[in-house]
Structure 1
Amino acid sequence: MYEDIEKHAAAFDNLRKTLASPDGDAGVMAIRKALEATATKIAETRGATEVDRDKLSKLYRGFHAASRVIAHLHERQSMLI
């Protein structure tokens, strides 16, 4: 389920450097696509119980929120340049 974001672990580990790098646009877009793809996989997962469904829903919303936060940080970084 998390394969897409695992590919970008290094970029996540040093997000500040990723945002500031000359090819930051491509890196940020790749991270955001990975987060959105993971959210989609979570949305397609069926929880067996109400608790499972609630947890999956929280994960889904969290991955979308993370994508928006990264977009916001990228936008702010672009304003500094």
Structure 2
Amino acid sequence: MHPKLCEAMTDKDVLKFVVSSYGDLQRMKEIVLTKKPKGHIFVPPVFGKIDPQEIVAYLLKNNLQQIRLQLQIHKFIWDPDAKGV
């Protein structure tokens, strides 16, 4: 991610931080608080690497109300062993 991209964002843009660890959450917070990007900010987990509940707890604890959790629903409902899929 180029550092200048946050400065160029508009209210119509979307910024997504895909996180896999607590360290990723801390880096995301640092970027959001220092760069103050405009637009919508989403944080999806790397499936199986970090629990979505941990992300929600982090967002609440750090009062990051402008950031939204994003889940890939197909990751939760898809069964790789299902026949005919």
- The TM-score, its normalising length taken from structure 2, stands at 0.31
Q: Point out the structure with max Rg over C-alpha.
A: 2
Give the strand-richer structure, 1 or 2. Answer: 2
